[in-house]
Structure 1
Amino acid sequence: MTRAHSPTEVHAALEAADPREVFPEIAVVSLPMVTRFRGITVREAMLLRGPAGWAEFSPFIEYDTAEAARWLLAAVEFAWAEPPEPLRPRVPVNGTIPACPPGQVAEVAARYGDVSTFKIKIAEQGAASLAEDLRRIEALRRARPDAAVRLDANGRYAPEEAMRALQAFSRFELQYVEQPVAAVEDLARIREAADAAGLGIRIAADESIRKAEDPYRVAELGAADVIVVKVQPLGGVIRAREVVTGCGLPAVVSSALDTSVGLSAGAALAAALPVTDRVAEIFGGAPACGLGTSALFAADISAAPVRAEHGSVPVGRAAPDPAQLSRLRAAPSRVRWWMHRLQQCWKHLRTESSPRPRPE
């Protein structure tokens, strides 16, 4: 068995001129999805094997090199070092309902088994899709009346639209509404206005954490009650945990539409976060995390995909199955595209200061 390397050795790995010197095995896969999600029906990912095990590098196609390089930094860390010791052996997860027609909600929800929390994607067309969003929430309430519900707008509302939407959503009992507006300053104003109006809706920040130059500004401005953190966009498990500690806010770990390999990194982060009094007050215990998204894939790379069982997923590394790697291998042109992207991001990490959260 190969030994996991220390953080110092992980940093030293970036001194290699070529990532193929660091990862003895690299694969690019193309996973078909059961429904359109985030505008795609196929999810591509690069899998990299290092001394500690397999890791995932799967920034979305439209991301530039600087942003994608943070995702590669996360892969280097997870492939070369063991994550922090878990505080629990399993992580509760939520189901994710994409911006699908309301008539499909019950079918999609059923894929997650008996999870007790769901996140519904809303605002696909901003305020123009509000009526359909309300029908989607109602459909989930009919299908799973006892489930806790979260909404995710991905920052698509203008500020004046966001308040109208929050007023419409206030008739539902919600855990939170995630990123109703894009700018963190607007997020702070929306949270203040929602509190002043007595809407009883918590605000969560996602893009204001993972896409921001300064992820701590959310806490400084009082822009959110909850933060949503993702391992790859934040540069790794350890860096993501630093952001959670530095913000001092309850955190929900979520997937970036990862394969089972990436989901296992997310589970490692979630299992390392303590259940504070504030977390218990909002969620009743460890929060359900957005790590059940392998249910959105028609096929995954592991023989035993990271799927929710009795509302939770296990903590532990996932590895691709050789037969699945062969069956789901991306087309040669796409492999070349991903190898070029890997080289560009590697060069960026070696020549630029990698984004790193500031210390607490």
Structure 2
Amino acid sequence: MPAALHLPSVPPLDEVRAHAYVVSLPLVTPFRGLAHREAMLLRGPAGWTEFSPFAEYEDAEASAWLAAAIDFGWQNAPTAHRTEIRVNATVPAVSAAAVPEVLARFDGCRTAKVKVAERGGTLADDIARVRAVRETMGALGRIRIDANGAWSLDEAEHAVHALAEFDLEYVEQPCARLDELRELRRRIRYMGVPIAADESVRKADDPLAVARADAADLLVIKAQPLGGVHRVLQLVAEAGLPVVVSSALDTSVGLAMGAALAGALPRLDYDCGLGTASLLGADVTVDPLRPEHGTVPVRRPEVDASALAEYAAPAERSRWWAERLARCHALLAASVG
């Protein structure tokens, strides 16, 4: 398990779960089919950290998220090159009419990432949503779209042409396969629309394959799925491509991990997807990492005990997470030991 190899050691399970809390936070707008976001918060020697792989992920994949949690909670953060990170707004697959309300939650953000190719939706829905974002943000706003690999090659080419009038900053993971990404990049190069890879990085056995295949112009990187801040910094150095640091609908604790990663990068050319606390109806801290004037700070928030109690997950879900933690910890310990 490559993620674990970047941990000097794996602390004992009893130590990891000594201060473990499972929360279920309501979402303002349904996202990825979820109405609540579950997360396990842990407290290590370096401070609060987060273990929050989505429920459908198998243990082998989820263990990389645990490696990231241990990295952030049990190791010192790398040196920061900046104290705040410019972030983008995130627009779920909502109706066009709902777009202004969503964007209003992202104070001062000059960039919006718009979800497209949602199951059950149509290209016409996507066009209407992106048009509403452009009308709300104005000509100077930056718009990027994210298809989560849902389009075929020909569907992606058609969609990019249909959405090009809105002046796209880039299109994120339009297709699932590397060969499709590479061919689409060739087909639309004349349009000047870059291709960003997300799932082709974080879900790949070899996260650098997409860079070697010349299949993307930039990479979307996430600290938790890729095994932690220190490991991702090494991957970025090896990839040699511009990057966007993003999140996975984390609590403010998980977002702090992403902010630590973004802060430590020598070069950061794009606004980052670390403003998603604005999609949460509640958080685990009284001082959440929500965008203010288009930025979030590089800091580790203090967890609020009353929030842990108020938003505690039901007992059966807490047991489920405790069992998952134990299984993933065993995988990590075996790979390091």
> How far apart are the structure 1 equivalents of 2:230 and 2:186?
31
Does residue 149 of structure 2 align to residue 165 of structure 1?
no
Which residue in 1 is equivalent to 2:260?
268
State whether structure 2 residue 205 is matched by structure 1 residue 213. Answer: yes
Letter in 2 for 1:13: V
Aligned residues: 333
Residue aligned with 2:39, SS: strand
Q: CA RMSD in A?
A: 1.7
- What is the distance in 1 between the residues matched to 2:262 and 2:234? 13
Structure 2 CA distance for partners of 1:23 and 1:10, relative to 1, 3 Å: farther
Distance 1:8 1:185, change over 3 A: closer
1:333 matches 2:330:
no
- The equivalences for 1:182-221 within 5 A come to 182-195=176-189, 198-221=190-213
TM-score (norm 2): 0.95
Aligned to 1:13: 10
Matches within 5 A, 1:68-83: 68-83=62-77
1:171 partner letter:
E
Task: Note the residue ranges of structure 1 that are not aligned, 5 or more in a row.
Answer: 1-6, 280-285, 355-360
The aligned counterpart of 2:44 is: 50
Q: Structure 1: which 4+ aligned runs deviate by more than 3 Å?
A: 7-10
> How much has 1:174 moved relative to structure 2?
1.2
Write the deviation string for residues 289-314 of structure 1: whole angstroms up to 9, x where unpaired. 00000000110001100011111000
**Could you say which residue in structure 2 is the equivalent of 1:319?**
302
**Does residue 290 of the first structure (1) align with residue 283 of the second (2)?**
no
The answer on 1:137 being equivalent to 2:130 is yes
SS at match of 1:139: helix
Query: Percent identity, aligned pairs only?
Result: 48
> For the structure 1 residues 167 and 136, does the alpha-carbon distance in structure 2 shift closer, same or farther, using more than 3 Å as the test?
same
Distance 1:143 1:170 in 2: 17
Deviations 1:118-166 (A, max 9, x none): 100000038x611110000110111111211100000000111111111
Distance 1:349 1:194 in 2: 42
Q: TM-score, normalised by structure 1?
A: 0.89
- Could you tell me how far apart the structure 2 residues matched to 1:181 and 1:8 are? 30
Deviations 1:220-264 (A, max 9, x none): 111111100000000000111111111100000001110000000
> What is the rounded CA distance, in whole Å, between the counterparts of 1:308 and 1:72 in structure 2?
26
For 2:157 and 2:7, the matched residues in 1 are separated by: 45
In structure 1, which of residues 246, 250, 257 is the aligned counterpart of residue 249 of structure 2? 257
- Which deviates more, 186-195 or 260-269? 186-195
| Counterpart residue number, 2:101 | 107
